[in-house]
Amino acid sequence: MNNQIFISNLVVPIIIGVPDWERAIPQNLYIDLNIILKKNDAFNSDNLEDTIDYSSIIELIKLLATENKDILLESFGEKIASQILQNFPAQSLTLKISKKKIIPDADFVGIILNRSI
């Protein structure tokens, strides 16, 4: 048995991309995150200390976006996943990062990372 928390469609402004025109101004990334918790205590205890505070994860992602020097979503996503697994009681996670309207024939493009300890 495992329990999970998730964040859906978090909008994060960032400067990222391969072509110069894409890095000329900040663009929005759309982030979905699903975290499997190491323990299930919070589902019985009703204690925030037994789970992961969503706002802490969001603050981390926004900080990494503000400090970002990467051009690829892949390396930016890896930083997010690594930081979460190192600093929070997460067993594993799935992270989806999307960019909107970067390719003319697609609404979104992006990456999905699955990581575990």
Q: Tell me the C-alpha distance between 3 and 37, whole Å.
A: 6
Residue 14: is its pLDDT beyond 90? yes
Contact between 65 and 12 under an 8 Å Cβ cutoff? The reply is yes
Largest CA distance in the chain: 50
Measured CA distances, 7 to 17, 76, 94 (Å): 23, 17, 11
Contact between 16 and 76 under an 8 Å Cβ cutoff? The reply is yes
* pLDDT tens by residue, 95-105: 999 999 889 99
* pLDDT tens by residue, 18-27: 999 888 999 9
Residue 89: is its pLDDT beyond 80? yes
Mean pLDDT of 84-112: 95
Q: What is the pLDDT of residue 29?
A: 98
Cβ neighbour number for residue 33 with a 10 Å cutoff: 23
Domain residue limits, the chain: 4-116
What is the CATH T-level fold of the domain 4-116, as seen in this structure?
Answer: GTP Cyclohydrolase I, domain 2 (3.30.1130)
Residue 62, token pair as written in the block: 């926004």
Q: Kindly report whether the global pTM for this prediction surpasses the value 0.85.
A: yes
Residue 17's closest CA among 115, 99, 116?
Answer: 99
